[in-house]
């Protein structure tokens, strides 16, 4: 553990050092490249006045809502598509076509329709999470070995038993792979929505910081976003470590 952390700590140190030196000696003004210390000071101020927690909370709720909705719908639909070739034939052109529409382009539309609150961002988030989870669910369920179906059928197992005892665990590795991608993308979804129009959230902080030449604030928001994305990624990795111990690689 200690050995694994050491290179990370070291590279962070080098990065911060290079950043300080660049901010100090390059002659770039502070409102374009603030020093690490001024970012740190801005961070403390945002923590103390509660604004950072508030806006992070808003963004996080958008992400969580979007993830829950996107993952639930993608998993159910993905399962149905994996099980029914005819349903797949009917729906897949629409699903593929929908992926050709950049979410960034329809974000303003969604906000016009649904308002600039949490709901529209959660839906943008769900849309962006939807596809990787859908695809991986389909791939995962299709890859369940036919022999295991034979085994369950020879035992007269019910559909529900086949789902929970075979299909779910067998497709979990691929499914969680989709979740890993989806979790990281969900942060982008929320921010895209907030950048278009919002009264709160980290994307709102970004815009305000930009508008007021409060560049340290922009940096604080960006780092918070990175932390959010890493946290979500870490949660999926934790699930993988917990549930995929049976695999050689996890």
Partner 1 sequence: MSASILTVRGLSVVFSTENNGLHALDSVSFDVNSREFVCVLGPSGSGKTTLLRVLAGLIPPTSGSFTFSGGEQPSIGMVFQQATLMPWRTVTENIGLPLEVGKVNQAVAREKIRDLIELVGLQGFEDSLPRDLSGGMAQRVAIARALIHDPDLLLLDEPFASLDAMTRERMWMELSRIWQARQKTVVMVTHSINESLFLADRVLVFTQRPGKIKMDMEVDLPRPREDDIRYLARFGELARQLRATIE
Nearest approach, Cβ of residue 72 and partner 1 (Å): 23
Characterize 37-58 residue by residue with b for buried, 16 or more Cβ atoms within 10 angstroms of its Cβ, and e for exposed: eebeebbeebeeeebbeebbeb
Distance from C-alpha of 100 to C-alpha of 196, rounded to nearest angstrom:
20
Q: Which residues bind partner 1 (CB under 8 A)?
A: 145, 147-148, 150-157, 161, 165-166, 169-170, 246-248
Nearest approach, Cβ of residue 250 and partner 1 (Å): 12
Distance from C-alpha of 76 to C-alpha of 82, rounded to nearest angstrom:
10
Neighbours of 203 (CB within 10 A): 24
In the complex with partner 1, the residue whose CB is nearer, 25 or 246, is: 246
Which H, E and C letters describe 100-160, residue by residue? HCCHHHHHHHHHHHHCCCHHHHHHHHHHHHHHHHHHHHHHHHHCCCHHHHHHHHHCCCCHH
Distance from C-alpha of 228 to C-alpha of 187, rounded to nearest angstrom:
7
Residue 35 tokens read as 């020093």
In the complex with partner 1, the residue whose CB is nearer, 110 or 162, is: 162
Which H, E and C letters describe 179-203, residue by residue? HHHHHHHHHHHHHHHHHHCCCCCHH
Nearest approach, Cβ of residue 133 and partner 1 (Å): 21
């Amino acid at each position: 553990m200690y050995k694994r952390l050491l290179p990370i700590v070291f590279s962070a140190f080098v990065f911060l050092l290079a950043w300080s030196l660049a901010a100090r000696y390059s002659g770039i003004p502070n409102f374009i490249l603030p020093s690490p210390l001024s970012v740190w000071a801005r961070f403390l101020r945002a923590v103390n006045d509660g604004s950072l927690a508030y806006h992070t909370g808003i963004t996080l709720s958008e992400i969580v809502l979007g993830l829950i909705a996107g993952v639930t719908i993608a998993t159910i639909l993905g399962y149905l598509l994996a099980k029914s070739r005819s349903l797949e034939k009917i729906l897949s052109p629409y699903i593929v076509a929908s992926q050709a529409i950049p979410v960034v382009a329809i974000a303003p539309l969604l906000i016009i329709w649904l308002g600039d609150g949490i709901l529209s961002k959660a839906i943008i988030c769900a849309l962006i999470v939807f596809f990787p989870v859908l695809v991986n669910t389909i791939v995962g369920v299709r890859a369940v070995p036919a022999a295991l179906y034979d085994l369950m059928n020879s035992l007269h197992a019910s559909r529900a038993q086949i789902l929970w005892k075979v299909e779910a665990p067998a497709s979990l590795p691929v499914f969680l792979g989709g979740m890993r991608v989806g979790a990281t993308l969900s942060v982008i979804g929320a921010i895209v929505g907030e950048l278009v129009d919002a009264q709160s959230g980290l994307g709102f902080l970004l815009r305000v910081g930009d508008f007021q030449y409060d560049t340290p604030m922009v940096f604080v928001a960006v780092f918070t976003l990175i932390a959010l994305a890493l946290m979500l990624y870490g949660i999926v990795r934790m699930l993988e470590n917990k549930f995929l111990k049976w695999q050689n690689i996890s």
